[in-house]
Amino acid sequence: MSNGETSRFVRLHVELVMEVTDSGLLTAAAVEQVAGDPSLPEEGRKQAEETVRDDPAEALAHLVDPFDLVTAVPGTALAQASWSSEEMTDYDPDAEWDAAEWDLAGDTAAVEEEV
């Protein structure tokens, strides 16, 4: 802020690349999570279960919740969160990591969840 004030809000960008080593286990966990979500109406539950069965990125998006990542951080409260997941067909796990190549502010949302 240019007037010398400090904002009490901080945007934290986190980007993870996860390898799906067992898609069956991932899908089963996501289906179980969807089935146990009391906030989902029956029609929404059926649609969510179908979606997580069809797409590992969707399954992962249902299991990873930014709220869970920050609830234990002392002196903070989550004001807003969004996250996305996508399959990465061009990812090379053996390549050198270059932060400049990662578009942390880009729109790469195959799945986007909002809290």
Q: Which of the two residues, 84 and 1, has the higher pLDDT score?
A: 84
CA distances from 77 to 8, 37, 66, 67, 73 (A): 11, 23, 12, 9, 8
pLDDT tens-digit series, residues 89-99: 788 888 877 65
| Contact residues for 31 (Cβ-Cβ < 8 A; gap 6+) | 49, 52, 53, 59
Q: What percent of the chain has pLDDT over 70?
A: 80
Mean model confidence pLDDT for the chain: 82
pLDDT tens-digit series, residues 23-39: 999 999 999 999 999 99
The pLDDT of residue 102 is: 58
- Domain positions in the chain are 23-114
| Whether 65 contacts 34, CB under 8 Å | no
Does this model's pTM top 0.85? no
Token pair 């903070």 is at which residue? 76
Closest CA to 99 of 21, 17, 19, 20: 17
